[in-house]
Amino acid sequence: MLGRMRVVLKLGTSVLTAGTDRLHRPRLVDLLRGMAAVRAAGHEVVLVSSGAVNAGWETLGFPPRDRTLAEKQLLAAVGQGRLMHLYATIAELYGLNVAQVLLTADDFRDRTRYLNARTTLDSCLLRGVLPIINENDAVATGQLRVGDNDTLSAFVANLTEADLLVILTDAAGLYTADPRTHPDATLIPVVERVTPEIWALAGGAGSHRGTGGMHTKIQAAEIATRAGTPVVVAPGDVADALPRILAGESLGTRFLAHGTRLEARKRWILAEIAAGSIMLDEGAAKAVVERGGSLLPAGIRQVEGEFERGHTIRIIAPEGREIARGLSRYHSSDLRRIQGHHSREIEGVLGYTFGPEAVHRDDLVRL
Ligand SMILES: Nc1ncnc2c1ncn2[C@@H]1O[C@H](COP(=O)(O)OP(=O)(O)O)[C@@H](O)[C@H]1O
Ligand SMILES: N[C@@H](CCC(=O)OP(=O)(O)O)C(=O)O
């Protein structure tokens, strides 16, 4: 048994329709039963679900499947509500509450929106609510879109710092060639690195209902594994796929992570441009350098520059030497107000708190 995990599960249209042209209720029941089972085993689940356009098509019954953008947006707007209604109805049978979170590319580019989305997803998980994410197709077009839900699920895995991303689809995993056109293709059980050879295996755009075929799944695997999250691409028509994967069974193709998530996070912090600096007192500098501890507001003497929550800042010892870099948990103006204060006073000073640390030890890289 692997430990308790936070898992992002991505379900493509091909899985939700189970080879038919409509959302397949029995398939949804199976999938939600699986999610309830892994939650009962102590894991956390974040769902990224496609299927809105298909659900809209079922409702409005537009005959052709190649549609204009405006029609597609209409179908998504109509279908998203129906999709959520189905999820909510079935989830209730398993005692689960669901929440809808619609995201677009800007939610990952803009730091405040990113942190807000993260807070909402964290709150859902804390309260045992199943968040169901889709792209906000009704408002996002062109550059505003992530564009496909495989890539979106990798972004969500980073956002939620997931331990595993599971992408269920209508293929049994990554094959040596598109199994639709190459019946002799064989399953690749493990991919250590997404190399050009791996990219070359992805055939065309996949099923007529799906968006990106295997190409976008490989892209998702590359994004997530670089950030330290392993990815499993597995068949959606196998009973209890999710519980079996979380129980350690090898199903489909596993893409191995590059190092740990913490290492990836620290590499990323070092690659960011610092937006400001904080000067420490002797004791705080010692705690950071010698003990690798978190940085508390009590040890801050001065804050320079303007920065938002989540921005990278330089951490400076009393003699002026930069000793670390980290992500600030507070806006620079808030930090100025709480510098020198004990952490238990934060709420009294600001009226709210984002936790006792100015920079948490997991967000701090010593130089
Ligand atoms: N090397 C490959 N291995 C497996 N499947 C592949 C490969 N190349 C292309 N595909 C195609 O990708 C399809 C899955 O993508 P897609 O239809 O977009 O699904 P989803 O709706 O789950 O995103 C498979 O049905 C398969 O035909
Ligand atoms: N956002 C769209 C799905 C986009 C998408 O990537 O589809 P798929 O390839 O089936 O996962 C919808 O809900 O219909």
| pTM for the full predicted model | 0.85
Q: Is 211 annotated as a binding residue?
A: yes
Q: Is 50 annotated as a binding residue?
A: yes
Question: Which CB contacts under 8 angstroms, 24+ apart, belong to 82-85?
Answer: 82/55, 82/56, 82/58, 83/23, 83/49, 83/51, 83/52, 83/55, 83/134, 84/132
Q: Can you read off the two tokens belonging to residue 276?
A: 């400001």
User: Which of 101, 148, 215 gets mutated to test ligand 2 (max ligand atoms within 8 A of its CB)?
Assistant: 148
Residue 111 has pLDDT above 90, yes or no: no
What is the mean pLDDT of the segment spanning 154-167? 95
Domain boundaries, the chain: 6-259, 266-366
Give pLDDT tens digits for 288-338: 999 888 999 999 999 999 999 989 999 999 999 999 999 999 999 999 999
CATH superfamily, domain at 6-259: Acetylglutamate kinase-like (3.40.1160.10)
Give pLDDT tens digits for 43-101: 999 999 999 999 999 999 866 666 788 888 999 999 999 999 999 999 999 999 999 99
**360 DSSP assignment:** -
Does the complex come out with an ipTM higher than 0.90? yes
CATH number assigned to the domain with residue range 266-366, chosen from the 4 options 3.40.1390.30, 3.40.50.1980, 2.30.130.10, 3.40.50.720: 2.30.130.10
- 8 touches 160 (CB < 8 A): yes
Residue 204 has pLDDT above 60, yes or no: no
Give the residue, 143 or 128, on which the prediction is more confident. Answer: 128
Query: Band of the pLDDT at 144, cuts 50, 70, 90?
Result: confident
- In the chain, the percentage of residues whose pLDDT exceeds 70 is 95
At residue 92, the 3 state secondary structure works out as helix
User: Which of 211, 214, 218, 232 gets mutated to test ligand 1 (max ligand atoms within 8 A of its CB)?
Assistant: 214
Residue 23 has pLDDT above 90, yes or no: yes
What is the mean pLDDT of the segment spanning 188-205? 88
How many residues in the chain? 367
Of 70, 74, 69, the closest CA to residue 57 belongs to 74
Report the pLDDT value the prediction gives residue 99, as an integer from 0 to 100: 98
**234 DSSP assignment:** E
